[in-house]
Amino acid sequence: MMEQFNNRNISDNGYFLVDIVDYPTTGWGKFKRAIDRTFKLELFVGLWVVLREMIKFDIHTISYPEEKMPIGPRYRAVHEMKRLWESDTERCIGCGLCEKICISDCIRMDTRIDEESRKEVSEYTINLGRCIFCGYCAEVCPELAITHGGEYENASDQREHFVDYEAMLTPMDVMKQNAQKEFEGFGAITPHEDERVKKTPLAY
Amino acid sequence: MDNAYLIETIIKVVVILLIFSALAGIGTYFERKVLAFMQRRLGPMNVGPFGLLQVGADGIKLFTKEDIIPTNVVGPIFKIAPVITAATAFMAAAAIPFLPSFELFGHEVHPIVADINIGILYVLGVMAVGLFGPLLGGMASANKFSLLSAARAAAVFISYEVVTGLAILAPIMMVGSLSLIDFNNYQIEHGWIVWSQPVAFVLFWIAAFAETGRTPFHLIANDHEIIDGFGTEYSGMRWGLFFIGEYANMFFISFVIPILFLGGFGDGSVLGAVALFGKMAFFFFFFLWTRAAWPDVRPDQLMWLCWKVLMPVAVINVVITGLVMMF
């Protein structure tokens, strides 16, 4: 597939020069062109083309609110927070990399040490009014915790539409049904990751 | 003039007004649907089944929108211009026989408001007056695009009117009357005029596109300027009147062409009446069809076409018809 696109040699690729005759400059030439166009009945070719499409009735409309186009798994819409498959606890470890890398400064998080002396996220909001959906946060996340989702229909009464941690976190009932979707976009694990992983060279 | 005649005429006028106002609305629905299907879209789908009630929704919108008269326009002319377009379109219907005459409650009804002896002249004349709507509307508006649109209207107006008149002259010479009823009766005896006057038929058909301002000659309200030409400063029902006028014109000219050239309503049978409606439907569909298929011409191309091609052809056609009739 890619070879086909990488082939830049257009000369034998089905491209050909269209034979466009120059505009006539003389009166006789113009007269001949007018006669040509009149009696070749070119206009009826156009009529036939649209009538053919009407008879075929191959409608390409998608009636949007009722039916939707499938969006690609790499689509970058509103963020989601994933949970661990094994224990259903949140994946986020509060490292703060997403906040650090965010180029539009829209992620703000607060962490604290909980009773078991583990770092825990206490506050986490994303200002979607500022977010440019670049995907850096999902890419940088070491735990694959913050990802992009597929929800692109949002409405808000103000420009600064925020999402917080609870809203982004996969709900528990979804987890119970094993219905959490992994993000396949940039920074995510690729399908054959196991075969490609290399051992860390310890002996320098 | 007795009372019965007066009442009958008033009823006819009201019926024609109501039917064709409604048809103008439904015409917009057909136009949107046909254009959509030809462009592989669905067209209006959401209001009512298959979007049929879209017409009503548009009507409510047009009627309830604020009627804005911009500050710098020439008020009275600006206000009267859309009325001219709509009114003349319907006035033209007075001399068109829509059906053969029929019996209703033991009373013979002629489905024509007035069978005047200058029928076709009246129809074309009044339809031509309709172009004063865009012309005056564009000139009364206070922006240059409307003014340019009015200028194009004047150019189109002068160009096609000559072709229409000369094209129709040859059939008139053969029939010897201007009444559309006489045209119909002539074709019962001698067969359709289109067989004896194919050139006049094509010329008249081409001119009809200019007359109604439909797509190959849709240069008065030039869509390519994104704005609506003479209608730019109009809003609400005043703009809607332009629209009704355009669609009513399309329907009436779609009636006139078959009556003049394609046998009209025939010998008065039901079949003939149905056939007339079929022909009318085809010509109306053709207006929509060309809009989906053909590009618009420039004003200079239209004038080139009308003055340098169609008019000489029409004149030659008239001369040849005259010679054939003489010998």
pLDDT at A34 (0 to 100): 85
Q: What is the pLDDT of residues A126-138, one digit of tens each?
A: 998 899 999 999 9
pLDDT at B286 (0 to 100): 94
**How far is the alpha carbon of B64 from chain A, nearest alpha carbon, in Å?**
28
Residue B210 CA to residue B187 CA, distance in Å, equals 26
Q: Which chain B residues contact residue A49 at CB under 8 A?
A: 293
Q: Kindly calculate the radius of gyration of chain A based on its CA atoms and give it in whole angstroms.
A: 29
Q: What is the pLDDT of residues B25-78, one digit of tens each?
A: 888 899 999 999 999 999 888 888 888 898 889 889 988 998 889 998 998 999
Tokens matching residue A125: 């909001």
Residues in chain B where the model's pLDDT stays below 70 = 1, 106
pLDDT above 90 coverage of chain A, percent? 28
Instruction: Identify the DSSP state of B297.
Output: P
- Based on the structure, what is the number of domains in chain B? 1
Q: Which chain B residues contact residue A51 at CB under 8 A?
A: 38, 289
Tokens matching residue A148: 């992009």
Counting one residue from chain A and one from chain B, the pairs whose CB atoms sit within 8 A come to: 37
With a cut of 90, say whether residue A3 has pLDDT above it: no
B42 to chain A, any CB pair closer than 8 A? The answer is yes
**How far is the alpha carbon of B21 from chain A, nearest alpha carbon, in Å?**
28
Name the residue facing B40 among A34, A47, A53 (closest C-beta): A53
pLDDT at A6 (0 to 100): 64
- CA neighbor of B240 nearest in space, from B59, B87, B117, B70: B59
Name the residue facing A50 among B41, B293, B309 (closest C-beta): B293
Q: What is the pLDDT of residues A88-122, one digit of tens each?
A: 888 999 999 999 999 999 999 999 998 888 888 99
Interface predicted TM-score of the whole assembly (ipTM), two decimals: 0.83
Grade residue A1 by pLDDT with cuts at 50, 70 and 90: low
Residue B166 CA to residue B100 CA, distance in Å, equals 28
Torsion of CA B15, B20, B25, B27, to 10 degrees: 140
Grade residue A9 by pLDDT with cuts at 50, 70 and 90: low
Q: Is the pTM of this model over 0.80?
A: yes
pLDDT at A103 (0 to 100): 94
H-state helical runs in chain B? 3-38, 54-64, 75-91, 119-129, 132-140, 144-175, 180-190, 193-196, 198-212, 236-261, 270-293, 299-303, 311-326
* Range of the structural domain that residue B233 is part of: 3-326
**How far is the alpha carbon of A38 from chain B, nearest alpha carbon, in Å?**
11
Q: What is the pLDDT of residues A48-80, one digit of tens each?
A: 999 999 999 998 888 888 888 888 888 888 999
Q: Which domains, ranges and CATH numbers included, belong to chain A?
A: 2-56 (no CATH), 79-188 (3.30.70.3270)
Q: Which chain B residues contact residue A53 at CB under 8 A?
A: 37-40
Q: Do B292 and A50 touch (CB under 8 A)?
A: yes
Name the residue facing B37 among A46, A57, A63 (closest C-beta): A57
Nearest CA in chain A to B46: A63
- CA neighbor of A107 nearest in space, from A94, A116, A89, A119: A94
With a cut of 60, say whether residue A142 has pLDDT above it: yes
**A68 phi/psi in degrees, rounded to 5:** -130, 150
pLDDT at A7 (0 to 100): 63
**How far is the alpha carbon of B41 from chain A, nearest alpha carbon, in Å?**
5
B301 to chain A, any CB pair closer than 8 A? The answer is no
Grade residue A13 by pLDDT with cuts at 50, 70 and 90: low
B314 to chain A, any CB pair closer than 8 A? The answer is no
pLDDT at A2 (0 to 100): 57
B38 to chain A, any CB pair closer than 8 A? The answer is yes
Residue B115 CA to residue B262 CA, distance in Å, equals 19
